[in-house]
Structure 1
């Protein structure tokens, strides 16, 4: 009798396991999309989402994450709409962009946001090439491979190998003015023919690729302009000055980059220096991220208007780095204090950040 009951229990367990196995073996739409993505190299987001819907919503996505650069967001959106609608006359990659402007205004951040929106994880689908690492002509062998008999011949070419595995991706040539002029010739074949050949003779397509070039050329003029207007709003006169500086930046770039390369780029965009309004939005965004992190721990944190204004004033003391130093500023003024406060008062659930003259103060929020 006991043996019979034991066998019945074992049979019941086996039946449950069998049902679970059958469920896991069912081919679903999600599973199929994932397998296709892994085999083809096409991002999952491109398979599971409607690209036309994504492109139509792209302007608002960029405006909500890249503050103060409406012109840049609009130019990029227009170029991508032309490409995906099939009315672009470019035979190379989907589109190519030259982003100009001082450091810390959102050039690289825009590329990351765009990659995430159209392809997925930037860590996976964005190849960032720091052109300061290609100051010498021979260093280009890292991207296309070394000729037979040379050191590095057995190493996989960085650029072509990436494109072979991820044909739908984004390539960022960062700070192109720092690279050897001859090394930029790699762009000619990519922009003109939509493909590239490595040292071993292997040709890979970049027809489904977005190409970005960034440069800090003209940053001195733009930083000088930013320091003059300070935190004030743009007037009609200052807007005219900006347009004049924009023309100077374009003149400078034509002296440094070959016209045959510039002529093949879809759009050339000069980013605006950031002002107080933009700095405030960026800081509020970062503070919102901090609030979300603490909420996961069961804690709330609020910021008084004075504390936010204090942070904005500190961030605006040095226009040279734009918004690049904001994370460091928040770490030094808030996060260090906050960490100490939480460790000393782990039971406190409601926290407030306020300003006491020039100092940031963290305390328990009163009911």
Structure 2
């Protein structure tokens, strides 16, 4: 009885701690959003932002805030949320802390199909179709699903082990990257450069239309990932234990991988292949709230949003008026952290 009370007390304490931490991270994200709104080649003071928001600002400030910076920041939040949640799901499904959609081939599959889609539909056309951009997330999703299915089929050998899934994913990533390069080489110089900037991870071309294309994917699949968080936690107990608790492992893996691919592919369609977000954010979240996915997924999502908003703010201010791709900033942070994980993570 006493042990049950202690366990209940520990759970309540952990829940309160994770809730307060999540609220703190949301507040931190809000502060970063305000800093990002004010930062850039044309800086804005807090007073100018307030006047613009209340309708007393100048026309140039309204244009800058509502048509350029705000949609870009909202898109950064959505992309960071989607990529980080996808990373947490992939790490949970594979039970491998190094699993990231950008490393195991999901991003490259999405990027390949997205670029192929753009190339084929703009081939020999002076004016691209008006619905071209609307179909981009679906093309990226098909590419991501194709990569995931290919990885799953090649990794299957009387079942799928997490380590085999990772190794096959790295090989598939290399294959899609090579195919992507072949498509790019057939493009015109301007299209090649545009695709190169986009694939390196960039949200410089953000608009409210881009936000609206990504938003439904986030609103559908983030709640689904939270709904499946308990299943991910059960999976961490081991396959035999999970089956004993009534979990259909293979069916749940497929469902979770579909959710992860959808979030990853939609994010790639909006911002290109920003690597390491799905790796760093879940690891940082795990250090803060532990490995229970009911707490890990929401904290990972907010952490990913913070990472992308911060990186995008740095990307457009360090060399203003020129811009650095967001993916480059994230890679500068993520590559050393990935090496650190390779050295320290246990087999």
Instruction: Give the TM-score normalised by structure 2.
Output: 0.29
Structure 1 or 2, whichever has the larger Rg, is 1
- Greater relative CO (CA pairs within 8 A, separation 6+): 2
Indicate the structure with greater strand content: 1
Instruction: Give the TM-score normalised by structure 1.
Output: 0.28
Indicate the structure with greater helix content: 2
